[in-house]
Amino acid sequence: MKITAVVGSPRGMRSRTRRVVNFVLAGAKDAGAEVDLIDLADLQVTPCTACESCSLDGTCVFADDLPAAYDRMRDADGLVLASPVYVDNVSGQMKVFIDRLADAMRYQNFAGKYGCSVATTEVSGGDAVVGYLNHVLNYLGVTTVRGMSVTPGNDPEALDRAEPAARELGRRLVLAVRDRPRYPDQEAGMAENRQYFAGIVRANRDWRTDEYERWVREGWIGEE
């Protein structure tokens, strides 16, 4: 079992978000998972230009670091999305990354995985960012085991204090991948999303036949 985290801070090794995520991954590792960390500070990811090329065959016109990160996420059983709070939202780096996953969302390429989210903030906005990242995971077809936000402010020990809860989150994610608990509140929203995306999959079936057939096999679309 593999858990892959994506950290959206530009601060690399100095990132507080990365530190909390490392605790989450340590908890996942202790629970038996192999772990992987994708740090957006190390990657070049070009913003989506809405050229719609990906709607033809799923590939992007930009040959940057996104496809390799995408493959690592696709290979995982559990996903962690993490971002610092920037003006009450995710960082620009994280938002650019999320936008580039639009085709994976439409085709529900991550469906069946479990996930959770992490945010750190100076004063406020952490819970809203965790909520947003979990919403993105649901869009991707990923069921979440919730998440956590940490507000270290000027307290240098706040991150250390967050370690037990972060490790527990990692453990909870591993157990969810193993036991596949159901979350009816999320299932309803995700079914609604799939109904919307089904219209796109159906409309594109002549040139995205493999994906269309996968959707039919999954029972997400009625065979016509």
Residue whose C-alpha is closest to residue 100's, from 68, 73, 60:
60
Q: Which CB atom, from 88 or from 192, has the smaller least distance to ligand FMN?
A: 88
Q: CA-CA distance, 157 to 116, in Å (whole number)?
A: 24
Among the listed residues 23, 62, 70, 86, the single contact to ligand FMN using CB under 6 A:
86
- Which residues, numbered 15-44, are part of the site for ligand FMN (CB under 6 A)? 15-18
Q: Which CB atom, from 27 or from 125, has the smaller least distance to ligand FMN?
A: 125
Minimum CB–partner distance for residue 59 and ligand FMN (Å)? 31
Minimum CB–partner distance for residue 13 and ligand FMN (Å)? 10
Among the listed residues 122, 187, 192, 213, the single contact to ligand FMN using CB under 6 A:
122
Residue whose C-alpha is closest to residue 204's, from 137, 61, 107, 83:
107
Alpha helices in 60-183 (DSSP H): 66-74, 92-99, 102-106, 126-139, 158-179
Q: Which CB atom, from 82 or from 145, has the smaller least distance to ligand FMN?
A: 82
**Contacts of 161 by beta carbon, 8 Å cutoff, 6+ apart:** none
84 touching ligand FMN, by CB under 6 A = yes
Q: Which CB atom, from 161 or from 180, has the smaller least distance to ligand FMN?
A: 161
Strand order in the sheet with 2-7: 34-39, 2-7, 78-84, 114-120, 143-150
Among the listed residues 11, 29, 205, 214, the single contact to ligand FMN using CB under 6 A:
11
Q: Which CB atom, from 17 or from 108, has the smaller least distance to ligand FMN?
A: 17
- Which residues, numbered 149-178, are part of the site for ligand FMN (CB under 6 A)? none
E-state strands within the chain: 2-7, 34-39, 78-84, 114-120, 143-150
Interacting residues toward ligand FMN by CB under 6 A: 9, 11, 15-18, 84-88, 120-125
